[in-house]
Structure 1
């Protein structure tokens, strides 16, 4: 039985490596046809701690044909004041004020909808306020889109993980993509089920975006990034998931409470609120990614080296993902605790959904 267990974990490692081969990276050396106008669009709601870094990133962009639009989504902190201070006299920037949230809309989706209404670009790049990006990132993204003939490119950034809970939960974002998503199907077929996207970094060809109805078409979705990507695919266009971690970083959370609330909002919703999938994932991760730690402890106590191998294989699998995504590789040794944290928040979100409780995010409530 232990031998079979080791074989399965070895297959998981090999699959992760093979699967990653279908995830293109942003090119370090690139060329762009015709240099179209790109609108860089950033929604902000109570983002005073991120204003300085995101505006600095936007100012440093080397791509020449950009317009930079920021939406202050009815912030109650110093976001507006700091925006005016950091932007100063830079004429490339426009600050617009967000309107009241209409019934049936999710806050961020409505903010993105208003941003695109103010944009004039041939391409629309939606980026979150906690993103920091390399000066060439817009050109790199546009170049890869043109080369692959994609109507949408999205990706998960490299993550800074200061609080303890983020060290456990945030690395699982990349792990889930590398392990569970059949990336070849995601990038080379129109299968809706094989789709992953990340609203932190999404660049659309404007014509395609308009023709699928834009963010208005997914107005009530808490996972609007995936749903809008599926609409791109359903229209017959290409959606590309890329490894953007060498050029884009994100510091999502500063407090453990923020980590919990952020993942609580998206985890159960992200699997379609399916209790069957939630229970299946719980059993799977408990068996293959939590249990190896207990086997390793037993092996160390009894001097049985073979019992340590399952844990080392899970560390190698997570370590490979962390290495490919510019993360701290030593966090791979926390894999059993990362799996436990992921399952805990998934079950908590499911329980919350069953009790018809709302999710809280940035001062707004969502069901």
Structure 2
């Protein structure tokens, strides 16, 4: 009994340290655009007129010439909405694309362009994009995706095609299942003005429907805020301190080309993570910003999509290292599953004997601290507070998906997503 009490006390101490780390870490999880010292010019002002004139430059002026011209301009550090190209790769997104495009048309100002690439969809994705493109002053243009070349993954190929067509000084890669609040692009412009170059990414507020979505989808942000020192994402050039979300990546066009763009990550299942690592290796500024008040997304719909979506990322995200997967699984089981099991066993023993076991308070404290750790993350991701009580179920599901992800790798079955299979 004394040994069990000591084990639970040790777990509780580790979780207390984890909670302290999260509280410190989230100080650096700041909202997108919070560093912008100068707001965008108001409608009707001379600067807005200058923006309109700049936006009407002849299309024949290529991007490199435009950037050279802007470098000689003392106001070049101010990024306007007309400097931003919004790029949306879309494959079988008829369910999500209308909401995404409606949110872009509801912005407080228009970006330079909104390019939608239909990545050889089997549904009405292209027709939906065409319908929106016909709206007055939509600035939406549909691109037809080319056949996937050997050695490329679908999303990277789609993003590379979009970037090749874009003319903005800044590129915002946006997933088709993301909807923006009306002030989102203004916040992006302020962020770009403050950062001047490099890459910024963020995690949209996750909308969930089924219980599998509610339990698993928020764990993406959980793992980052629990383990990655966000201060080092922006202050260290070490690529190990990196986090990005492909649903929302804002990157300077110059920086994108310097690091090789999506061509440099063409075969990676984790193109977003590899992109920010390339940026850091190349000395480009990088930041993970909080965007849950500016963007929302329903990544997956239903248990099957959650499972296959996370399965393709979990084991590759650990470098396809079985020892690392086993170590992480053991640590998560000890920290988050063991206290819950101890609490249930202790309560059952108490009910059966009328006497609580000596280790029950330590097990209860460890379980409560685990819930507080989850709550500390959830409030930063706009996740309902009650979900923190279900953390053991979330952990168990993530560990099972991780094991299945490794199984697919070692059986050489590859990973399937949106009708394509990847190694």
TM-score (norm 2): 0.84
Call closer, same or farther: CA 1:255–1:34 in 2, change over 3 Å.
Answer: closer
Q: Deviations over 1:101-140 (max 9, x none)?
A: 0000000000000101111000000000000111111221
5+ residue gaps, structure 2 = 1-5, 41-77, 351-355
Distance change (3 Å), C-alpha of 1:229 and 1:29 = closer
Deviations 1:49-89 (A, max 9, x none): 01210110111122344211101111111112222234432
- 2:371 maps to 1:325: no
Residues 34/152 of structure 1: CA separation in 2 closer, same or farther (3 Å cut): closer
1:163·1:253 contact (CA, 8 Å) conserved in 2?
A: no
2: distance between equivalents of 1:208 and 1:187? 15
1:28 shift after superposition: 6.7
CA-CA distance at 1:99 after TM superposition: 0.5
Matched, 1:88 2:134: yes
Q: Is the 8 A contact 1:150 1:240 kept in 2?
A: no
Aligned to 1:282: 329
Q: Report the Cα offset of residue 292 of structure 1.
A: 1.3
Consecutive aligned runs of 4 or more in structure 1 exceeding 3 Å deviation: 27-30, 303-306
Alignment length (residue pairs): 367
Superposition deviation, residue 29 in structure 1: 9.4
Query: In the alignment, which residue of structure 2 is the partner of 1:139?
Result: 186
1:145 Cα deviation (Å)?
3.2
Whether 1:38 and 2:84 are equivalent positions in the alignment is: yes
Maintained 8 Å contact 2:292/2:382:
yes
Q: Once the 2 structures are TM-superposed, how far is the Cα of residue 34 of structure 1 from its aligned partner?
A: 4.8
Q: State how far apart, in whole Å, the 1-side matches of 2:390 and 2:381 are.
A: 17
Is the aligned partner of 1:335 residue 2:391?
yes
Residues 210-245 of structure 1, C-alpha deviations (whole Å, 9 max, x = no match): 111111111111101111111111111111111111
Deviation larger for 292-301 or 201-210: 292-301
**TM-aligned CA deviation for residue 142 of structure 1:** 2.5
Q: 1:163 aligns with which of 210, 214, 218?
A: 210
- Alignment-derived partner of residue 67 in structure 1: 113
Q: CA deviation at 1:170?
A: 0.7
CA-CA distance at 1:162 after TM superposition: 0.8
Taking only aligned residues, the RMSD between alpha carbons, in angstroms, comes to: 1.5
SS at match of 2:225: helix
Equivalent of residue 309 in structure 1, options 365, 369, 388: 365
Superposition pairs for residues 200-239 of structure 1, below 5 Å?
Answer: 200-239=247-286
Q: Cα distance, 1:305 vs. partner?
A: 3.7
- Report SS of the residue matched to 1:71: strand
Matches within 5 A, 1:51-62: 51-62=97-108
CA shift digits 1:323-364 (9 cap, x unpaired): 111111211111001111111111111111011111110000
Please give the alpha-carbon distance, in whole angstroms, between the structure 1 residues aligned to 2:92 and 2:278.
Answer: 30
| Larger deviation, residues 162-171 vs 278-287 | 162-171
Secondary structure of the corresponding residue to residue 250 of structure 2: strand
Q: Where do 5+ consecutive residues of structure 1 fail to align?
A: none
Q: How far apart, CA to CA, are the structure 2 residues paired with 1:238 and 1:53?
A: 31
The answer to whether the 8 Å contact 1:26/1:244 transfers is yes
8 Å CA contact 1:55, 1:87 repeated in 2: no
2:220 aligned partner: 173
CA contact (8 A) 1:293 1:336 kept: yes
Query: Which is greater in Rg?
Result: 2
Cα distance between partner residues in 2 of 1:34 and 1:124: 12
After TM superposition, give the deviation of residue 149 of structure 1 in Å.
4.2
Q: Which moved more, 1:317-326 or 1:135-144?
A: 135-144
